[in-house]
């Protein structure tokens, strides 16, 4: 996921300017955001280390396996986060540093510590932190937050629930075993499938906005509609009679979908039809 975070942040940087991104902003912004994302990931592993030991997906992580100590993980996370803030404050801009720090805290602490175990809508409420990278990238280059950057945020925010709930269906027993109230655990698989479909429809609508507001052109629109059509097909198949394997296929496609969608945004930006 760190790779996906950094990629969408980089796309945000390129979309923020008409030409080439200044290399200092590109290099330092990518480094700072990447270090912050890595810090958040380490903190997530640290906080979830006990439940991770009982989940098939996470039991082989270094902390549950005893390969590193909690102290080592904490020091590493603080070091990564401190370096991220240093790079962003010294060589990017203060606003990018503040927003990146807020995203780190939002994911590693607010979501992981509180929301994840408080509500089956955890991924919806906490999705803002995961949707922030393109805004951070945009801000790293311009020092401001533009409406178009917020539109990129909205796309990832709408994408997050169907992406994560598909995985949650496949790993339902894992979450139930550690008493994490993911939607398929608390409300059942059928209910979750319906919400995956509804959020996918919302995502299809949202991905049309960059074209409608003049942010992107026809190249993006064609690519987005094709990608979204396939996503909708996966969601419909899962809703009608899909099993856990179909849920995993939907999850895997969702990752490809977001990377391809942002690739079309980038291509369209420089090859505008």
What beta strand segments (E) does the chain contain? none
Using pLDDT thresholds of 50, 70 and 90, give the confidence band for residue 242.
confident
- Write the Ramachandran bin of 179: left for phi over 0, alpha for psi from -120 to 50, otherwise beta: left
Residue 214, Ramachandran bin (φ over 0: left; ψ between -120 and 50: alpha; else beta): left
- Architecture field, domain 1-145: Orthogonal Bundle (1.10)
Residues 50 and 31: their CA atoms lie apart, in Å, by: 30
In the chain, what percentage of residues exceed pLDDT 90? 94
At residue 87's C-alpha, the angle toward residues 129 and 262, to 5°, is 45
- Looking at residue 273, what is its pLDDT? 54
SS (H, E, C) 134-161: HHHHHHHHHCCCCHHHHHHHHHHHHHHH
Mean pLDDT, range 48-56, rounded to an integer: 94
pLDDT at 195 (0 to 100): 98
CB-CB contact of 217 with 272 (8 Å):
yes
Residue 2's pLDDT band (boundaries 50, 70, 90)? confident
pLDDT digits (tens, 9 = 90+) for 77-96: 999 999 999 999 999 999 99
Mean pLDDT, rounded, for 209-237: 97
């Amino acid at each position: 996921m760190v790779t996906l975070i950094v990629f969408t942040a980089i796309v945000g940087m390129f979309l923020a300017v008409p030409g080439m991104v200044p290399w200092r902003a590109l290099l330092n912004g990518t480094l700072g955001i990447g270090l912050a994302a890595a810090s958040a990931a380490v903190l997530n592993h640290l906080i979830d280390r006990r439940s991770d030991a009982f989940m098939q997906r996470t039991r082989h992580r270094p902390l549950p396996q005893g390969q590193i100590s909690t102290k080592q993980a904490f020091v590493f996370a603080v070091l990564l986060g401190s370096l991220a803030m240093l790079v962003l404050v010294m060589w990017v801009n203060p606003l990018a540093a503040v927003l990146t720090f807020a995203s780190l805290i939002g994911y590693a602490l607010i979501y992981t510590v509180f929301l994840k175990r408080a509500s089956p809508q955890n991924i919806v409420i906490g999705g803002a932190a995961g949707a922030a990278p393109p805004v951070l990238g945009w801000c790293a280059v311009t020092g401001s937050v533009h409406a178009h950057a917020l539109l990129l945020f909205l796309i990832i925010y709408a994408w997050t629930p169907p992406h994560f709930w598909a995985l949650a269906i496949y790993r339902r027993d894992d979450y139930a075993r550690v008493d994490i109230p993911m939607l398929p655990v608390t409300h059942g698989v059928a209910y979750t499938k319906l919400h995956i479909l509804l959020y996918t429809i919302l995502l299809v609508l949202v991905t049309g906005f960059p074209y409608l507001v003049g942010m992107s052109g026809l190249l993006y629109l064609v690519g987005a509609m094709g990608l979204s059509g396939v996503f909708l097909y996966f969601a419909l198949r899962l809703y009608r009679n899909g099993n856990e394997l179909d849920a995993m296929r939907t999850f895997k496609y969702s990752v490809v979908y977001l990377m391809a969608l942002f690739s079309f945004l980038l291509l369209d930006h420089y090859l505008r039809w």
